[in-house]
């Protein structure tokens, strides 16, 4: 009888140990999945931020000084989720027109996240190229030389007043529908060096 109790107790303890091991394995797999999603999300954010910063710092820039435009006309249009400006992006001495705008969430059905959108970049009215890196928010704030916020959409009379831009970018993981895996980037008061001398 004692042998039977020992066998039953061993089975119960072994079953509990097996259950604990399976739970630990499941938690470890979930952590690996979430951490890899977090790393991918942050890598997407860094890539997008570098492209945006590079392009925005070139507003009004031209490698050939004879082709530099009037600094009051380098920003063509500006709103909270779009901006159009001129810059010599490819550094060939010719001014390019660059247009950034955020598409609708309905345009991106291939990802698991229903909130992500495509951030489009159009250079010289060529077919838009988009980034589907999980962007859920692209928000711009414009400032004048005194640091006051310029209301959006920016009117044509206020476009020449823009000297600084605040860039806000939210990116979520595209492989799962989770608002828990996201990255946020804000470039506070990105000074535009080519139009700063107003």
> Is 21 within the bounds of a domain?
no
CA distance 77 to 156: 7
> Is 118 within the bounds of a domain?
yes
> Is 24 within the bounds of a domain?
no
| 170-188 per-position pLDDT tens digit | 888 766 655 566 777 777 7
Count of domains forming the chain: 1
> Is 20 within the bounds of a domain?
no
By CB atoms closer than 10 A (0-12, 13-18, 19+), residue 181 is buried
> Is 14 within the bounds of a domain?
no
CA distance 44 to 113: 15
| 101-122 per-position pLDDT tens digit | 998 877 777 667 777 888 999 9
User: Pairing between strand 129-143 and 96-102?
Assistant: unpaired
Task: Decide if pLDDT at 135 tops 50.
Answer: yes
Domain interval for residue 108: 39-195
CA distance 134 to 44: 8
> Is 31 within the bounds of a domain?
no
> Is 25 within the bounds of a domain?
no
pLDDT of the residue at 198: 47
Q: Which residue has the tokens 């997407």?
A: 44
CA distance 85 to 125: 12
Maximum average pLDDT range among 25-29, 36-40, 43-47, 148-152: 148-152
> Is 47 within the bounds of a domain?
yes
């Amino acid at each position: 009888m004692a042998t039977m109790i020992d066998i039953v107790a061993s089975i119960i303890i072994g079953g509990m140990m097996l259950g604990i091991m399976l739970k630990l394995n499941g938690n470890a797999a979930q952590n690996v999945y979430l951490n890899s999603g977090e790393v991918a999300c942050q890598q997407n954010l860094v890539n997008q931020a570098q492209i945006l910063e590079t392009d925005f710092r070139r507003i009004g820039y031209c490698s050939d000084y004879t082709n530099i435009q009037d600094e009051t006309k380098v920003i063509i249009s500006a709103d909270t989720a779009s901006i159009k400006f001129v810059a010599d992006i490819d550094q060939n001495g010719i001014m390019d027109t660059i247009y950034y705008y955020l598409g609708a969430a309905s345009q991106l059905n291939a990802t698991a996240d229903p909130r992500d959108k495509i951030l489009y970049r159009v250079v010289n009215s060529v077919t838009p190229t988009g980034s589907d890196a999980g962007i859920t928010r692209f928000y711009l704030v414009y400032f004048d030389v005194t640091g006051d916020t310029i209301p959006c959409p920016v009117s044509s009379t206020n476009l020449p007043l823009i000297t600084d831009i605040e860039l806000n970018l939210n990116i979520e993981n595209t492989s799962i529908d989770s608002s828990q895996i996201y990255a946020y980037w804000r470039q506070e008061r990105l000074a535009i060096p080519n139009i700063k001398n107003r």
